[in-house]
Amino acid sequence: MPLPRRYALTLALVAGGVLVWLALAAWVLWHDLSAAEQDALGAMLEPRAPLVLLAATGLVFVIGVLLKRWFAAYPATALRLSEQVRDIHAVGAETRIEPQGGPEMRQLAAAVNALAVVHRTLRRSVEARVEESNARLVQQKNRLAALMSQLAQSVLVCNAEGRILLYNARATELLAGGVVDGVAGAPVGLGRSIFGILDRSLVLHALERLHDRMARQQADPVAQFVTARAGLLLRGQMAPVLDASNALSGFVLVLDDITRTVEAGSRRDFLLQQLTEHTRASLGNIRAAVETVQQYPDMDVERRGRFTEVIRDEAERLSLRLDETLARHPESLRAPWPLEDMLAADLLAALQRNLASTVGTIVERAEAVPGLWLSVDSYSLVQALSHVVAQLASRFGTQALSIDVAQEGRLARLSLRWTGPPVDPALVHEWEAKPFAVGAHGQAPTLRDVLHRHGAELWCRGEDGATGPRADDPEALPAPQRNRLCVELPVTQPQQMAAPVHAARSSRPVYYDFDLFSQPGQTPEVDETPLVELAYTVFDTETTGLSPSEGDEIISIGAVRIVNGRLLENERYEQLVDPRRPVRRQAQEVHGLTDAELAGQPGIEAVLPVFHRFAEDTVLVAHNAAFDMRFLQLKEAQTGVRFIQPVLDTLLLSALAHPGHSDADHRLEGIAARLGVPVVGRHTALGDAMVTAEVFLKLIPLLAERGIRTLREAREASQKTLYAKLEY
Amino acid sequence: MKTILIADDEPNIVISLEFLLEQDGYRVAVARDGNEALEAISKQVPDLVLLDVMLPHLSGFDVCQRIRQNPAWQRIRIIMLTAKGREVEMSKGYALGADAYITKPFSTKELLAQIRAQLAA
């Protein structure tokens, strides 16, 4: 109740009460008097009635004045005080209450002022501390960014699920999706899965080793691998990122392009080996001839002549070979295929796991010699041996085998043993020479390549005393026997890898988003994820016309990504497509693309797979998405690419956020104008995708006000809106 | 008289080996590649084979393995001669049934001593 009304009411009550009380007292007094006294008093008062009335009025006036002063000193002051306290709280800083009203109120004001001073000091120190730590954080981020951009290596930081949280420009360069037939692809991006970029089993294999090493509490757990990707040979080093409880919360991946060094190294290695072998052979021949001549000094002249001819011939070949080799001597230093030190027991375990999961073989594993270290590229070696076992399984039906490793001096002999028909060495040679698939990204190496890298030898024979196919009767059916496939490779001593030092490069931006560390990932829970936390691909297409069912085609696709509520301007996709049919005139007036501009661009069957990879693991967003999705869906059969991720439509979302507007207001320009999004580059696919993305970002909080927060809520509400019934 | 088969495709070493072995009183046969070596053995089983690793067609390792797979040929002694000096190859040779493994260049005296030792064993 406002103060004046409360005052009037209180005044009426108090004044009325006093008057009624006086009237009551007068009435009691009156009835207490005898009749004679009443008459006497009546005669006395009657002529003075105006005076009594005046006294009553005066009383009311006095009460009114006193009450007013009290109101001013207490309730009104208290009200003002509370407003001022609210000001102090809201505005905070400098406002003070001026002492007023009754003395108690003045004391109260002074107490509040004292409190305000303390409050202000406290607040200032908190603000200062927040500012300080923010500044420190920014500084650290910048330092990290500067450091990363200076690295000559490609660096990717991923969370435990393999989503990219941070990468540098080198990583984008190195892993750019391989430009195939002029189609661009940019698969490195925040929130993307590393598994879409590198071979999944390779990364998992490295992660597994990282886990093993951490479980063994190794001081510096790092796993290495080598992989071929788009014609490049990459060396990867993986190190763990630990959380507060020392559990693995992610990993850092450092990639190096070692294509050229390894090529040069292999060349030199080959030359060196050839030279050694030829030298040994020639020297052997010379030495044998010389020793023979020395041992038989009295041999006849003709025979002696043949021996000296051998010596001359071999000496000549030797010098020729030496000249040749020196002339072709490569400049580069020798860089062997990078191998990693690994316990033999771990290699056996990895082999056992891989055989069980890929070939389905029952593997009995013997305990390895403790402390036996090997220098291996464990991924290739395990893959190669699994390939051999797969061949055994398909050819001889081998389903169970045992594996063990034994030390033979400076060599380790890894054996696979099984019972079955004997294996012809020619068949083993065939397996050695045949490439085995190592993943989608590179040329497949052969078993021989892998063995060569390890300086290893492989053979297969029956166990002691058993017979093979009879050489005198090759047609006879071979009896099953205990077979043993051996791989022998050098033993090593473990050593720590020194971190390489690299020269500085020109500064380039580094892209990071550590909030992705808490990203739930690609699971059914995605539906319950708040819209702000999801990763989106916002896209738009331009077409030859409006009727996909009548043969209209996509001529341009543009897309941008939104991760954790940020529009990532650097991660964009733009591609023109040759529609292989003329563009309709009305459509050409909208987007301005001519047949001549489109001729020679890649076809849709080359473009969609790349766009599909760009949009992998994200929610698709488009304005009037039904139209664009229809074009994509009609191409499913032709391209073999399906877009099955959730789709949101800014047209429908806008209708949900602003239900009062007419249909025309939900066109992209209308929404953009209403939400204050500048419209730039309209009617190019990328331009429209950008505007749509900004509109979408502004719609998210508006939807939240209407209780639409998660992806599921957005999808369900969209379906209910009128526009969802539109069909193209 | 003991028979020795030399399986080597390099005439420059064969000439010395053939002469030395003949002078030492062995009957000598020569094969120029892996298949020829196996043919020669099946015609007349030698007491010892001097086997070069890098033979055309069928490698020395393969020939060695074939010999050891045949029960009738178990008493043939096999000495492998090679220009490949790596330890792991030597180990492979022994694993496939070679009795001795000699790396080029070698001393002819030692080779003859090795042959005598193998034939006496």
pLDDT tens digits, one per residue of A32-56: 988 888 888 888 888 888 988 898 8
Average pLDDT over chain B, rounded to an integer: 91
Residue A96 scores a pLDDT above 90: no
Whether A108 shows a pLDDT value over 60: the answer reads yes
Residues A290 and A243 in one domain: no
Minimal C-alpha gap between B2 and chain A (Å)? 21
Tokens at residue A265, please?
């190294």
Look up residue A572 and give its amino acid. R
Which residues in chain B are closer than 8 Å to A408, comparing Cβ atoms?
A: 91
pLDDT per residue as tens digits for the range A437-470: 644 445 667 888 888 888 889 999 887 654 444 4
Contact A457 B10 (CB under 8 A): no
Most confident of A303-307, A597-601, B44-48: B44-48
* CATH code at position B99: 3.40.50.2300
Q: Which domain holds residue B91?
A: 3-120
- In this structure, are A582 and A708 located in the same domain? yes
Asked if residue A147 has pLDDT above 90, the reply is no
Residue range A477-513, pLDDT digits in tens: 567 788 999 999 888 776 543 333 333 333 334 455 4
Who has greater pLDDT, A554 or A500?
A: A554
pLDDT, one tens digit per residue, over A638-667 is 888 888 888 888 888 888 887 767 666 678
**Phi-psi category of A593—alpha, beta or left, where left has phi over 0 and alpha has psi -120 to 50?**
beta
ipTM above 0.90, yes or no: no
Distance, CA of A220 to CA of A242 (rounded, Å) = 12
Query: What angle (nearest 5°) sits at the alpha carbon of residue B96, between those of residues B90 and B100?
Result: 50
Residue A333, in any domain of the structure? no
Most B CBs within 10 Å, among A285, A309, A487, to test the B interface: A285
User: Residues of chain A with pLDDT > 90: what percent?
Assistant: 11
Contacting residues for A650 by C-beta, under 8 A, at least 6 apart: A621, A622, A623, A625, A668, A671, A692, A695, A696, A699
Q: Which residue has the higher pLDDT, B6 or A564?
A: B6
Q: What token pair was written down for A505?
A: 């490069």
- Structural domain includes residue A88: no
Q: Which domain holds residue A272?
A: 262-327
State the DSSP string of A139-178: HHHHHHHHHHHH-SSEEEEEETT-BEEEE-HHHHHHHS--
Q: Please check whether residues A182 and A199 belong to one and the same domain.
A: yes
> In chain B, how many domains are there?
1
* Mean pLDDT across chain A: 81
Return the residue of A nearest to B9 by Cα.
A281
Domain boundary residue, one of A58, A73, A88: A73
pLDDT higher for B24 or A679?
B24
- Tell whether A45 and A174 lie within a shared domain: no
Q: Measured between alpha carbons, how far is A57 from A252 in angstroms, rounded to an integer?
A: 92
A285/B12 Cβ within 8 A: yes
Domain-ending residue, one of A13, A48, A73: A73
The whole-number average pLDDT for the span A61-67 is 90
Between CA A575 and CA A560 the distance in angstroms is: 12
Q: Domain containing A457 — which CATH number?
A: 3.30.565.10
Q: Which of A196-200, A216-220, A512-516, A598-602 has the lowest mean pLDDT?
A: A512-516
Q: Do residues A281 and A380 share a domain?
A: no
Contact B70 A471 (CB under 8 A): yes
Contact A702, A573 (CB under 8 A): no
- With beta carbons less than 8 A apart as the criterion, state whether A199 and A441 touch: yes
* A411 contact residues in B (CB cutoff 8 A): 87-88, 91
Q: How many domains are contained in chain A?
A: 5
Quick check: bond before A469 cis, omega within 30?
A: no
Any B CB within 8 A of A278 CB: yes
Write down the pLDDT at residue A464. Answer: 60
* Inter-helix orientation angle A259-295/B108-120, to 10°: 80
CA B2 to centroid of chain Cα atoms: 14
Q: Write down the residue that tokens 């190794």 correspond to.
A: A218
Note whether A292 contacts B: Cβ–Cβ < 8 A.
yes
A206 belongs to a structural domain = yes
Higher pLDDT, A662 or A380: A380
User: Could you say which of A296, A306, A422 has the minimum Cβ distance to residue B23?
Assistant: A296
Same domain, A368 and A442: yes
Identity of the amino acid at B102: I
Asked if A377 contacts A343 with a C-beta cutoff of 8 angstroms, the reply is: no
In this structure, the answer to whether residues A664 and A531 fall within a common structural domain is yes
Say yes or no: A436 and A583 in one domain. Answer: no
Give yes or no: A683 in active site. yes
Measuring CA to CA, which residue among B101, B88, B95 is closest to residue A456? B88
A425–B62 CB contact, under 8 Å? yes
At residue A501, the pLDDT reads 32
Rounded alpha-carbon distances, angstroms, from residue A20 to A17, A45, A288: 5, 19, 148
A556-580 burial by CB neighbour count: b if 16+ within 10 A, else e?
A: bbbbbbbbbbebbeebbbebbbbbe
What is the DSSP secondary-structure string of A375-403?
A: EE-HHHHHHHHHHHHHHHHHHH---EEEE
Q: Reduced to 3 DSSP states, what percent helix, strand and coil does chain A have, rounded to the nearest 5?
A: 50, 20, 30
Rounded CA-CA distance A302/A286 in Å is 18
Cβ within 8 Å of B, A 415-434: 422, 425-426
DSSP A687: H
Contact at 8 Å (CB) between A522 and A529? no
| 3-state class (DSSP) for residue A566 | strand
CA A506 to chain centroid, in Å, comes to 26
Render pLDDT for A576-589 as a digit per residue (tens, 0 to 9). 999 888 888 878 77
- Judged by DSSP in three states, A312 sits in helix
Asked whether residue A113 is domain-assigned, the answer is no
Alpha-carbon Rg for chain B in angstroms: 13
Residue A617 DSSP symbol = T
A621 and A693 within one domain: yes
Reported for A225-228, long-range contacts at CB under 8 A and 24+ positions apart, including other chains, are A225/A340, A225/A377, A225/A379, A226/A258, A226/A337, A226/A338, A226/A377, A226/A379, A226/A380, A227/A198, A227/A199, A227/A202, A227/A379, A227/A438, A227/A439, A227/A441, A227/A442, A228/A438, A228/A441, A228/A442, A228/A443, A228/A445
**What's residue A271's pLDDT?**
79
Give the rounded distance of the alpha carbon of A500 from its chain centre.
Answer: 26
In sign, the C-alpha dihedral spanning A204, A209, A212, A214 is: negative
**Do A307 and A375 reside in the same domain of the chain?**
no
Q: What is the pLDDT of residue A328?
A: 65
- Residue B25, both tokens: 């009183």
- In order, the DSSP letters of A475-533 are TSPPPPEEEEEEEEEEEE---PPPPPP---------EE-GGGGG---SSGGGGGSBGGG
| Statement: residue A524 has pLDDT above 90 | no
Closest CA of chain A from B120, distance in Å: 22
Beta-bridged to residue A249, according to DSSP, are none
By C-alpha distance, which of B43, B42, B50, B44 is closest to B24?
B50
Q: Do A289 and B12 touch (CB under 8 A)?
A: yes
Strand ranges for A564-646 from DSSP E: 566-576, 619-622
**C-alpha–C-alpha distance, residues A286 and A442, integer Å:** 46
Rounded to two decimals, what is the model's pTM? 0.52
Interface of B with A (CB under 8 A): 10, 12-13, 15-17, 19-20, 23, 38, 42, 54, 61-62, 65-73, 81, 83-89, 91-92, 95-96, 103-109
